[in-house]
Structure 1
């Protein structure tokens, strides 16, 4: 028996058993004239398991050259830490607490990935040290999302592993997403525009008491009368609208929360009679610094587009059964309408905020298009 076997005159391995039946590992070491016997509880009453652990420890000790008392304590500490990790199971991890510093939305995304991973395992009582590439691959097979979305989920799951201090290989979460070609968005037809205007008229202030949804009424109509991008409209403030002798709408980045696609996007769009009639009720009782649509939430990446974009896409897809369209289809519609009315491409580009390459009239001398010419062009855009 190991407890009776001496390995050398300098040190010996002991497997000792306490009165309660729990085995411990004891290593003899002499420091000067003093004999030390540092002991480590193996926390088991199973003899064979105890022998196995004691053997591991003995091999580690014998690999050291002239170990000191501190060396022995370090080996004990490392062994105890490893055993604690081996004893830690996935089901014991309180992931929600580990994610407490995140926003509610982010927390839900992380927890969704983590819980779906646990559900894919044959047992949630699996030790964290038993995890391997096969477990990740099995989870990936349960996901029915696109490759691009799965790649995002893998990043979230990897972050969950790190927050739980689970040792893992970064290669487990690597994958190459096969991006599908983006389906081109087309322009609306006149019939489709009429359907959208009819469907959204409910949200006008004179019809509904809820002003928080006014943007559902105004944004489509403003897009039809200006050709602006969604975020250009959603981030507008009262001070961006100027009712002077030559009224205009200023598309700018004069606030930290404003974003534009490129430098050419900075522009002034003539305010026509139709646009003025639309905006006046919206501007009523608002201060010059206020946003036109204060209820739209801001996102650092996408500005104010997330909420209206999702709502409008759902409206077209589920309620109106329109395909291959988005809010940006209003912009396509306006550009097509102006082009078919004979407006020069350079002028359309300056009004829409396009970057028109080396065309002198379009890029360098935008001021060459007089207000009257621009105004008359915009007057071709009407609501019906």
Structure 2
């Protein structure tokens, strides 16, 4: 049929000439019979309103596909279920896989997800489909949600990457004795459960469900946040700052991010998104402003907005001179080489530092760039005995801080913050000029 062509991936495409213009629309199927039936429906619809303009024809083609593709999808699923001997009496209505497909399609169509985000979510939702055996969406209840929650706690992290789990079906993995160290973290499990809850919220709005069975299913994490990642010990710091990659950086951010993390206790993305306006004198002291005032700047929470005096070591190393070299525009990025990805600038530095710490630190599993923040906190708490001090909470941007951003501008408060920062002493760890 002249309206039907196949691309290099064996997917059929509808082709037709409309008033000297050629239109091509993917039919999203490799099944020739299904493609022929879709072409017949499309041609019948177009012929009813012919002649028409190209953009009108394209609209009609998409509308026709939107109407008939779900029907073919159900037929394909039914054939597969019948072939595999699955229970087809579980109820009528859309299958889980169909609703997931529609949900993902909307996210992509509205550009709510970037490509990498989509790939990550696709794995998460494929796991749900497998765990629930692609049952009828309306028949998924609280018992099913609890079973999913229980199963996730028995599954290893990165099961599609680790060789010992990669080629095994989930049902088989669930019967294995997985080492505790291999299991998914509470944070990862809660991320997945949160995704499933978002799916059901969308499904309710779009008429596929009446109840969010994953609402309130998150695991309670009794661990304190500081216990989830370990601080660097003296040996770690010496190894990190004596590493050739750190001492001979190829990019400016490679030189500055580790020492900034150590002497400010700031989170990685907070440092990566610095603009020139964020480094300035406040009441006579050089300070860094952690803020979301820039168009691409984000913060973890409202309390994360804060001011941190700059340690004399950073000034000695030339940080202020470097900032001044980045141009005159106040919205200039301090580290212009870093690219925004999924609303963050920290993607590349995180991977870069992870490679370094995995190479130079023996017990690296519970350590990351965030360990600089824990090292900063440990020094203030253990060396300076400042645990519970509201000024320390202000430096960290903690939600229970008794000092709000409105205080900054008081020379007394900035002076006290500066005294704490200048008390930090990491000279013994090989941080060179």
* Structure 1 gap ranges (5+): 1-80
Shift of 1:379: 6.2
Alignment of 1:1-384 (within 5 A): 88-90=75-77, 95=101, 98-99=105-106, 100-101=108-109, 102=111, 103-116=114-127, 132-133=139-140, 140=148, 144=155, 147-155=189-197, 158=200, 167-168=208-209, 170=211, 176-182=217-223, 184=227, 185-199=229-243, 201-203=244-246, 206-208=248-250, 211=251, 214-242=252-280, 246=284, 248-253=286-291, 254-260=293-299, 261-262=301-302, 265-279=305-319, 282-283=322-323, 285-288=325-328, 289-294=331-336, 295-297=338-340, 299-300=342-343, 303-305=344-346, 308-309=349-350, 312=353, 316=357, 320=361, 321-322=363-364, 324-338=366-380, 345=389, 348=392, 352=396, 367-368=411-412, 371=415, 374=418, 378=422, 380-383=424-427, 384=430
Instruction: Indicate the structure (1 or 2) with the bigger Cα radius of gyration.
Output: 1
Query: Structure 1 residues 133 and 276 mapped into 2: Cα distance closer, same or farther (>3 Å)?
Result: same
Deviations 1:285-339 (A, max 9, x none): 5224321223142545xx5455545664675467622354443432342344356
Measure how far apart 1:255 and its partner are.
Answer: 2.1
**Aligned-pair distance for 1:248?**
0.5
Contact in 1 for aligned 2:137/2:208 (Cα 8 Å)? no
Deviation at 1:167, TM superposition (A): 4.4
DSSP 3-state at the match of 1:181: coil
Give the TM-score normalised by structure 2.
0.49
Shift of the 139–109 alpha-carbon distance from structure 1 to 2, 3 Å rule, reads: farther
Mapped partners of 2:145, 2:285: distance in 1: 61
CA distance in 1, matches of 2:202, 2:347: 26
Q: 1:139 to 1:277 in 2, by over 3 A?
A: same
| TM-fit CA distance, 1:89 | 3.9
Rate the CA distance shift 1:371–1:105 in 2: closer, same or farther, 3 A.
same
Q: How many residues align?
A: 289
Alpha-carbon distance in structure 2 between the residues aligned to 1:370 and 1:139: 53
Deviations 1:136-167 (A, max 9, x none): 6799487525542441342466489789x894
Aligned CA distance change for structure 1 residues 311 and 242 (closer, same or farther; 3 Å): same
Distance in 1, matches of 2:235 and 2:320, equals 27
Query: TM-score under structure 1 normalisation?
Result: 0.54
Q: CA-to-partner distance for each residue in 1:258-290, whole Å, 9 max, x for gaps?
A: 345445843251451543424267447522432
Cα RMSD for the two superposed structures? 5.1
Deviations 1:18-48 (A, max 9, x none): xxxxxxxxxxxxxxxxxxxxxxxxxxxxxxx
User: Against the structure 1 CA distance between its residues 196 and 98, is the aligned structure 2 distance closer, same or farther, given a 3 Å change threshold?
Assistant: same
Question: In the aligned structure 2, how far is the partner of 1:133 from the partner of 1:240?
Answer: 50
Q: Distance in 2 between matches of 1:186 and 1:129?
A: 44
Runs (5+) with no aligned partner, structure 2: 1-67, 80-97, 156-183
